[in-house]
Amino acid sequence: MQSTNVKIFNMEEMESTQQAGWISKIKIWIMEYKRVLTVTKKPTKEEFLTVVKISALGILVIGLIGFVIQMMKILLFQ
């Protein structure tokens, strides 16, 4: 018959284990944050303008779709 090793935690051990878990998660997040900041660079003016134009176009398209749907709803259900 195999015996299983079951460790019974008291509340203090559980709290310290949870705190260690949170601390390690925070440390990992900070390391990932630093890595991203070292890899990224400031966009050039041309890159920035391209992103602004594409974002504006996307907003306009979504607004136009909403407007067409609203107009169809008004025309069809009145």
More confident residue, 4 or 57: 57
Tell me: pLDDT of 1 over 60: no
Q: Report, as an integer, the average pLDDT of 54-63.
A: 98
| Residue keyed to tokens 């195999």 | 2
Residues contacting 17, CB < 8 A, separation 6+: 9
Reported as a single tens digit per residue, the pLDDT across 4-44 is: 555 555 666 666 666 778 788 888 889 999 998 899 889 99
Three-class SS string for 19-78?
HHHHHHHHHHHHHHHHHHHHHCCCCCHHHHHHHHHHHHHHHHHHHHHHHHHHHHHHHHCC
pLDDT of residue 75: 94
Q: Where are the domains of the chain?
A: 11-76
Residue 4 is predicted with a pLDDT of 59
- Other Cβ atoms closer than 10 A to 6: 5
